[in-house]
Amino acid sequence: MTPAKACPHPGCSGAVTPTGYCLASGERVDPATGRHSAPAAETPPPAPLPPPPAPVPSQRSPYTASYSSEGDARGESSQFWIVHPGPAALPERPALVTLPPESPDPTVLPEITLLERADSAGAHADPGGLPLPPGTLLAGQYRLVRLLGYGGMGDVCLAHDTKVDDRAVAIKMLHAELAADSYSLLRGERKELVELNHDGFIRVFNYGHHAGVGDFLVLQYVDGLTLREVGARARAHPEEFGHERFREFTLAYGMRILAGLAYLHAPGRGKVYGDLKPPNVMHDGSTIKLIDVGSVRRAGAPGLTTDDYRAPSVGDHGESDPRDDLFSLGETLRTLCGLGADRHDLAALSALGPLDDPAAGHRGLGLVSLARVLRRATRTHRADRFATAREMEDQLRGVFRELRSLRTGAETFEPSPLFLQSAHALDGGLGSAPALSRWAAPRAAARHPAPTPAQVARRLPVPRPDPDDDHHGELSRLADDDPEALLQHTGDWPDSPEVHLLRCRLRLRLTPRADDGPPDAEALSAAETALALAEDAIGPARAPHDWRLDWHRGLLELARSRVGAARDHFDRVYAAIPGEYAPKLALGHCAEHLERRHEALTFYEAVRLRNPSLGSAAFGAARARLALGGPDALADAIAALDAVPQHSRHRTAARTAAVRIRADHARDADGLGTAVRALAGLFFAHGLTDEQARVRMKAEVWGAAHRLLAPPGGGPPLTGAGLRAVAAKADPRLEFPADERTLRKDLSRFYRGLAHQAARDAPPREAGAPLAELLLDRAYAVRPFALRHHRDTPWLGKKIKDWVRAGTSAQRRG
């Protein structure tokens, strides 16, 4: 046997096989220069590909990444991303790429069909390089045809199985110098490789030994494009992969590969793949296969790895654990979609700073999430990465949903695996009929305040209980409507991290005041103590990597109104679980209070488009649109609220807010008419049935009409003809007045009804009594002029008429 020689590549400690491959990097060594030339692949040696064409404004390449993707309908885009074009690619093989229909399924891939397969009759058959003459029967069964390619552990040849219908198989022969050393998985684990049974791996049919070539594996024959070839093709022909849709396909590749890794990593198997990289993943038809099973080994065992995709935590001889496979997958996906020149660029690409730039466009958040999920997978220390393949898959699915919704504007909903959906809309009061105090002061400019930080702290989504917690079952069934009662109920429960976190949230919800103010100092101190106990229960080894602690620290900072500190905690949660919507919702509220309005809109829109049923995101987006202003601000704000679907628990609140915003911003008959028609829809289609709330909403819309009769800004007044036109198009059940006199009478009646509500809701000598008087004053100020009217007693003529009628009736009875 010819011994392996030291690799001449500068700085490389590997050895070169007789076929010219470096065992450390898996790359072929150029005999002329002594340098690595290209990554190994079970395909013909690679050749350089010309650089990708420059994108044109009307059709940008998916590799021209920016925070705005394609921008929104108004063309917002800005180049913030440095995109690495990737290594030199293989010569392009003729193939047909068929895009699948739009689908919320995160594992859907294009159909890739090679137009000339290596085993087809017309394929070029060059027997050169075969270790034995073509036609040789290996082990009396497998007839050699030709060399398919080179791998880091051995050559791969095409053969036909003469005992199974002459089917095509791939024969992998171990390099002779590896056959006698510790890397020889073909000797030690041949039976286990044959027993690998997962659709994500190429099947190992058999194994054998033949004089002159030694040990070999008989593999399922597949022929398609490797991910390295797919990436090169997507750069050269972005339209084949739907331009920026290729990022979603990148995540689909990741999820399919993770299914195979989860199979390997399962406790009953305890294996790792070890050498995951783009050339080892093949796309054949609409499926993918990990094609080099020779690197599969037990966790911690030595084995083959490749420098560019090897985790820093891998041992000197390739000793790996499952989290090292996740690192290699993260680097594979980063290379495939072209984010940065190396993994260290992901830190800059994950920054939130540019999100407050109006030129960035809210659609860029999906790329930030993509960079963050890949960054976590490729962190230097194992403890900073995803713990399991399932955990990484959950986050890839979430980023996929975000990317797809931001690209298409369509809902891509799937229940969160980590958060319970909040019942609260966080509308800042906009989603309910106006409070009576609204009419107690002179009208100011329309303003729609955000909920206070303390309200946000109490009403953000709640993390699902940890399935491994001792009290998971009980916590999953709890109803937490009454925080004091629940604190008593759980008071004697044995301590656990989830019990302490629950008590922290319950303490934050305790408030001594009826106006939903912040918790008092004692409640805040108790909440902080509960969080400290949760951290101690989790333990010093796990606590620095547990996002739940940062989530609750952010809630505590919000309760104290320290919004900047809360934002830092929620940002760390977003870095840990980039596919989840809850951290983005929290960051949107923080940005809104910090007056980073475009950043707030970016977060709210990403959450709202992904799941329009979440009222909090719709209200936040509407407030941010109105605060940013612009010619389309009103229409965009109302569109966000109107997009809350009929099945959402927040639909009535969203429609109520849309009516109020329309009424506040009505400037002419058209604007008023839109508000009146929306009010009819709210009453008769969208669920507002409370009679007192209806009176307040009518007072709001009728008041807008009255204001337009004499606009405070000096604009053109609403004419009688305009008022009649609005009434003619209104729902008759609404009884909207067609003239000014009736409008005033109705409005006066509404104000008297509101005064009665104020008087009834508060005892005399309290706040309700002065408010009732103010509302009565408004009623008498707006009433139309008349010769006869009454305030507290009937007109004298009516008294006399009633006395006469009573006397006449008495005489008849007598």
Could you list the residues known to form a binding site for ATP, using ranges. Answer: 172
The tokens 């996002």 sit on which residue?
547
Q: What single-letter amino acid sits at 7?
A: C
Determine the distance from the C-alpha atom of residue 401 to the mean position of all C-alpha atoms in its chain, rounded to a whole number: 6
554/446 Cα distance (integer angstroms): 31
Q: What single-letter amino acid sits at 600?
A: A
Q: What single-letter amino acid sits at 677?
A: R
Contact between residue 182 and residue 131 where contact means Cβ atoms under 8 Å apart:
no
757/435 Cα distance (integer angstroms): 11
Number of Cβ within 10 Å of residue 502's Cβ equals 25
Helix 497-509 × helix 547-559 angle, to 10°: 20
Number of Cβ within 10 Å of residue 298's Cβ equals 16
189/171 Cα distance (integer angstroms): 17
Contact between residue 252 and residue 286 where contact means Cβ atoms under 8 Å apart:
no
C-alpha pair distances (Å), 364 with each of 250, 279, 472, 599, 614: 17, 30, 37, 11, 21
- CB environment 374-402: b (16+ within 10 A), e (fewer): bbbbbbeebebbbeebebbbbbbbbbbbb
The residues near 407 (Cβ < 8 Å, ≥ 6 apart) are 69, 70, 244, 245, 248, 363, 366
61/69 Cα distance (integer angstroms): 10
Determine the 3-state secondary structure of 606 from DSSP: helix
Residue 122 CB burial class (10 angstroms; 0-12, 13-18, ≥19): exposed
602/253 Cα distance (integer angstroms): 27
Q: What residues pair up with 28 in beta bridges, in sequence order?
A: 21, 38
Q: What single-letter amino acid sits at 649?
A: R
Dihedral angle of Cα 23, 29, 34, 36, to the nearest 10 degrees: -80
Contact between residue 365 and residue 83 where contact means Cβ atoms under 8 Å apart:
no
Determine the 3-state secondary structure of 154 from DSSP: strand
235/721 Cα distance (integer angstroms): 62
97/246 Cα distance (integer angstroms): 12
Contact between residue 12 and residue 22 where contact means Cβ atoms under 8 Å apart:
yes
297/622 Cα distance (integer angstroms): 54
Q: What single-letter amino acid sits at 362?
A: H
280/288 Cα distance (integer angstroms): 10
CA nearest neighbour of 440 among 153, 35, 777: 777
103/88 Cα distance (integer angstroms): 32
Contact between residue 714 and residue 707 where contact means Cβ atoms under 8 Å apart:
no
The residues near 780 (Cβ < 8 Å, ≥ 6 apart) are 748, 791
Total length of the chain: 814
Binding positions are: 172
Largest CA distance in the chain: 138
Number of Cβ within 10 Å of residue 37's Cβ equals 17
CA nearest neighbour of 329 among 343, 347, 350: 343
Q: What single-letter amino acid sits at 485?
A: A
204/315 Cα distance (integer angstroms): 27
Helix, strand, coil shares of the chain as percentages rounded to 5? 45, 10, 45
